């Protein structure tokens, strides 16, 4: 023997319910009052419940559920609003992509220019720079010369890479002395 349960009034208000209203509620024919107010429900009210509300057999309360639609068509945004929404999403997305591309371009360009400016000069080419300071040459300037050394010269300068000063991100740094006795760090 199957027992039937009759529910005539159901108060589900203020229960933090989320999602859409289940269709199965329209099959509870003995239900006369259904209070779904003050929840977070969304979507359309099932057609079966709408029919019962219209014929007066159900008192449906759904206030303070801002995303509930009273008929199936009102849940759809009009075509104009959908196209505006697409524009509102597309324009910022395109702007973000452009900004990221410009930043990357500037970063890569700066990196490339830096590598050109920091390139090693050929062995015979000397670079002389002047800085105010100690008067080493009698004209109030300090002359610094830069040149490229061979591997054999580096072995001689560092005494066969004998004394390690430290280690950095690009390898070891060695202590060395030039022919004139100037102490140098060799990387």
Written in H, E and C, the secondary structure of the chain is: CCCCCCCCEEECCCCCCEECCCHHHHHCCCCCEEECCCCEEEEECCHHHHHHHHCCCCEEECCCCCEEECCHHHHCCCHHHHHHHHHHHHHHHHHHHHHHHHHHHHHHHHHHHHHHHCCCCCCCCCEEEEECCCCCCCCCCEEEEECCCCHHHHHHHCCCCCCEEEEECCEEEEEEECCCCCEEEEC
Which two three-digit tokens encode residue 54? 């219209």
> Is 187 annotated to bind ligand?
yes
Q: What is the layout of strands, in order, in the sheet containing 33-35?
A: 9-11, 33-35, 59-61
Binding residues for ATP: 187
Binding residues: 187
């Amino acid at each position: 023997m199957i027992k039937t349960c009759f529910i005539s009034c159901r108060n589900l208000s203020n229960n933090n319910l989320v999602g859409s209203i289940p269709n199965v509620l329209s099959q509870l024919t003995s239900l006369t009052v259904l209070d779904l107010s003050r929840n977070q429900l969304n979507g359309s009210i099932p057609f079966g419940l709408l029919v019962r509300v219209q014929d007066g057999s159900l008192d449906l309360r759904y206030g303070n559920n801002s995303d509930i639609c009273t008929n199936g068509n009102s849940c759809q945004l009009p075509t104009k609003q959908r196209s505006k929404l697409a524009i509102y999403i597309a324009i910022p997305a395109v702007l973000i992509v452009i900004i990221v591309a410009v930043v990357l371009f500037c970063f890569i360009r700066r990196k490339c220019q830096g590598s050109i400016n920091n390139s090693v000069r050929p062995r015979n080419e000397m670079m002389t720079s002047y800085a105010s300071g100690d008067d080493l040459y009698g004209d109030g300037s300090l002359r610094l010369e830069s040149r490229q050394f061979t591997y054999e010269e580096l072995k001689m300068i560092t005494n066969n890479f004998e004394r390690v000063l430290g280690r950095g991100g690009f390898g070891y740094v060695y202590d060395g002395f030039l022919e004139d006795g100037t102490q140098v760090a060799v990387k």
